Chain A
């Protein structure tokens, strides 16, 4: 009998150790009453499942039981030294003109953040504050009951320590982008558990940037993040996420997004850092005539493993979605893309398209694609495409013939390849940021 399967019935070693760790740090975790109960339930849910493994269909290609093995203990609150290390890296990670909200080792750092002169219609507070003193409405948004199906989300619910809660009131159009920066500074291996909430009111408009970076000397840490977003009707959210964690770090992040009627949600994710990462986004159409564009790029080399998993749930009629995903893999890089489009029985006139392409630069690289369609309504147009291949030799030859050195010619072609995903970012400034991150990866490749 399969050992891993047999184990799911009982507590796994990992979860047992975690149960003890949870008891030890309980006092440091914010929230009492309903919040504490939700944590306990989530912990039990995680303990039942343990770390996901290859026999769990949604985690087929990212087996955390063999790759991650254990959940590290909760990171200590950052001291002054950690804050100054974080400040050093913040300079390069901060996007010019954006309002920075900085989390160091999973704890909100007010001295590094920029909360001065909040625009009208914008309210920001910490997750700790929201869990401790926030009303039931905020709590319900932070702890929706259906989220616990995924073990890693359950783990996040049990352990979340801090984060930011951003609320944009109806009709507010923010000129300044908001940037959440996660900085790992710990010198000893530890795990951070963060969760943030963004509520975009009806007819409001905002740009959100998320960055994951490591300070000098950060060691094999684990970043466990969750982002809960609701986009009101006729609202607009532009979202860019840049994951440039340390090369020996783990990053497991989940985004839950609900999009209201006539709203427009444009999101882009870039995975370039980390030893092993998983970004899973669950996007649900809550109102009709909404438009969603989800784009992503995995740039991996060395022995990196990057997993981007998207679930698009067309729960209502007349929704439109576009997904464009690209992976560039060198050395022994391993990219995973899973994209599932679900069209519910009543979601007629849905228009969904998904395209995923992988570029393999080395014979040891691996690209796994699983673009899924799950369709229960008949009057829809849905399609997906997937390709995998190497750089086109004739294009390369063309550029070489015109005098470009091999590396440069390759870089040009790779940039063009990745560009297809980046181009779909609507906002000009955001597009430049994404291009910048891609160029950093190419430059580092040498």
Chain B
């Protein structure tokens, strides 16, 4: 359909480069020499004051990485990455902070600008400010007051972790993983690399060698974590790779909800992000992991943007345990990400809810793996892919039931929506059943926004873009409902931003 003048004007105003978080923080930082070698690995380990066993672990991963090849099976195309052209460690100067007051004010300002309050008192005030405001400036429904503990990771290090005291009272350990290695070596040793082994895949192995920081969470038996935990990742420095590692353990009968957000400045060159996330749930425990991924996607000509190669995996080790992944993917030039669940314990459950939106020259190859090993395990996959501009959006998912996975159940629905005729939406499911009592259902559809629906909305006075946003929001409703309230609001805004300029 031809674009109405209003749409054209608006698109011209915003252009495709409407990334709101593209600013850069001018701050002195402490960097490892460029490139990757055993020395780099030793440098990072030394910077972190790590025990010898950790250095050995890293070096072993590094040596293995040298023998591995970059995977090529994903439907993403990018020029060959020169791994020697990156900085593998970058930290804002000034060290050993006793309190938040000592954090560089530049960094605090950065997080303020991003809407992530790091001061606990501000945190409370921030909630009130977070009321959704619509175009006319009217305030929407107030968001219920809730507290979130934040771990802020700036380039390679964690700069602040809030609500430490209160969490400690509940027995919950929430700290940067670099500290956890020093303070809780037994827990780290017991769990690190047990879900994603150092030899798992090219990017995970690279991460194992050079990971610099990330969050560590341990929820003791029977504890329901008193607040949402959250990590906010920010890549700031030029040419750096961010390699964070998150490890969350929910012991017997515990529950934790964890949120993750990320942004990066606008730059012409591509930056590398290869994270590893490991989740472990014991008997009757539950982890809910939500991500809003909004790395810089590159400009309208496809220049710049983050290469996002992430290995996320949860291990439902105990009976009746549950892991739920929710992700809203709008950023990154390249996304290569498959949050998975290993359903090892009997009656365990895995869930995956995803919205992946690609615009401009973005390429997304994302999905999940549900590996049914235990009896009566169930899983559910709801994936919504939206492609606009000249982007390519692929869902790739594996559902497998092993010989002993009696009564395994899976339901998968993956839908794709195409906006414009230059983008592509692809669905690549792998469904493997090795047990006769396993019951798998899979359905996928691809369509464009129905003209009837748009017409109906426009008829009733909505603008073309509002109509698209309405239809899209309806399309992704199933997934948004799974997000914690604060994120749902942010995600809804993100969706309307990503789709601006795609109609007409």
- Chain A contacts of B67 at CB under 8 A? 1
Q: A403: CB under 8 A from chain B? A: no
Interface SS of A by simple majority: strand
Closest residue of B by beta carbon distance from A385: B443
Given known contacts A366-B434, A389-B438, is B443 in contact with A383 (CB within 8 Å)? yes
Q: How many angstroms between the C-alpha atoms of A378 and B386 in the bound complex? A: 11
User: Is B441 an interface position by the 8 A CB rule?
Assistant: yes
- Check A369–B431 contact: CB distance below 8 A: yes
* A380 neighbours in B (Cβ, 8 Å): 446-448
Quick check: A378 and B418 within 8 Å, CB to CB?
yes
Contacting residues, chain A, for B403 (C-beta < 8 A): 363-364
Known contacts A374-B426, A376-B424; is-contact A388 B448 (Cβ 8 Å):
no
Main secondary structure of the interface of B (DSSP, over half): strand
Would you call A371 and B429 a contact (CB within 8 A)? yes
Residues of A within 8 A of B429 (CB): 369-372, 386
**A112, B266: Cα distance in complex, Å:** 74
- Name the segment of A43-51, A101-109, A354-362 touching the other chain: A354-362
Nearest B residue (CB) for A393:
B437
| C-alpha spacing A389/B418, complex, angstroms | 32
Residue of A nearest to B435 (CB): A363
Taking a contact as CB atoms under 8 Å apart, the answer to whether B431 and A374 are in contact is no
Instruction: Write out the residue numbers on chain B whose beta carbons fall within 8 Å of the beta carbon of A385.
Output: 441-444
B370 to chain A, nearest CB (A): 13
Would you call A375 and B436 a contact (CB within 8 A)? no
Interface residues of B toward A: which range?
35 or more
**Docked complex Cα distance between A370 and B73 (Å):** 15
B395-423 CB contacts (< 8 Å) to partner A:
403, 416, 418-423
How many residues of A sit at the interface, in one of the four size bands?
A: 35 or more
B431 neighbours in A (Cβ, 8 Å): 367-371, 386, 388
CA A363 to CA B438, docked complex, whole Å: 9
Interface: A177 (CB within 8 A): no
Contacts of B187 in A (CB 8 A): none
Interface string of A385-410 (1 = CB under 8 A from B): 11111100000000000000000000
What residues of A have a CB within 8 angstroms of the CB of B428 in the complex?
A: 370, 372
- Does B440 belong to the interface (CB within 8 Å)? yes
Interface flag for B54 (CB, 8 Å)? no
Q: A1-B69, A378-B419 are in contact. Are A373 and B442 (CB under 8 A)?
A: no
Interface pair B442/A360, CB less than 8 Å apart: no
Distance (whole angstroms) from the CB of A352 to the closest CB of chain B: 9
Alpha-carbon separation in the docked complex, A169 to B435 (Å): 51
Which residues on the A side are within 8 Å of B421 (C-beta)? 345, 348, 377-379
Q: Is the CB of A366 within 8 A of B424?
A: no
Chain A residues in 8 Å Cβ range of B441: 385-387
A27 at the interface (CB under 8 A from B): no
CA distance A390 to B427 in the complex (A): 26
A317 to B279, CA, bound (A): 47
Chain A positions 22-37 with a Cβ under 8 Å from a chain B Cβ: none
The listed residue (A368, A371, A390) touching B436 by CB distance below 8 A is: A390
Do residues B448 and A387 form an inter-chain contact, with CB atoms below 8 A? no
Residue of A nearest to B434 (CB): A366
With the chains together, A375 CA to B428 CA distance in Å? 11
In the bound complex, do residue B73 and residue A368 qualify as a contact, i.e. CB atoms below 8 Å apart? no
B121 in the interface (beta carbon within 8 A): no
Q: A1-B67, A381-B447 are in contact. Are A388 and B433 (CB under 8 A)?
A: yes
| A365 to B435 alpha-carbon distance, docked (Å) | 7
- Chain B residues positioned under 8 Å from A125 (CB to CB): none
Q: Once the chains are docked, how many angstroms separate the CA of A368 from the CA of B438?
A: 13
Among B69, B427, B430, B440, point to the contact of A384 (Cβ < 8 A). Answer: B427
The answer, yes or no, to whether B432 is at the interface (CB within 8 Å) is: yes
Q: Which residue of A lies closest to B67 (CB)?
A: A1
A385 to B445 CA separation, bound complex (whole angstroms):
9
Other A-B pairs, 20, CB within 8 Å; known A371-B427, A373-B426, A390-B436 = A1-B67, A57-B73, A345-B421, A345-B422, A360-B438, A361-B436, A367-B431, A367-B432, A368-B432, A369-B431, A370-B428, A378-B418, A378-B419, A378-B421, A378-B423, A382-B447, A383-B444, A384-B427, A388-B440, A389-B440
List the 6 closest pairs (A to B, CB-CB), nearest first.
A360-B436, A378-B418, A386-B442, A388-B433, A369-B431, A388-B440
**Chain A residues packing against B (C-beta within 8 Å):** 1-2, 5, 57, 345, 348, 358, 360-390
* Residues of chain B having any CB pair with chain A under 8 Å: 67-69, 73, 403, 416, 418-448
Instruction: Write 13 A-B pairs (CB below 8 A) sorted by A numbering.
Output: A358-B433, A360-B433, A362-B436, A366-B432, A369-B429, A370-B430, A371-B427, A372-B426, A373-B416, A374-B426, A378-B418, A382-B446, A384-B444
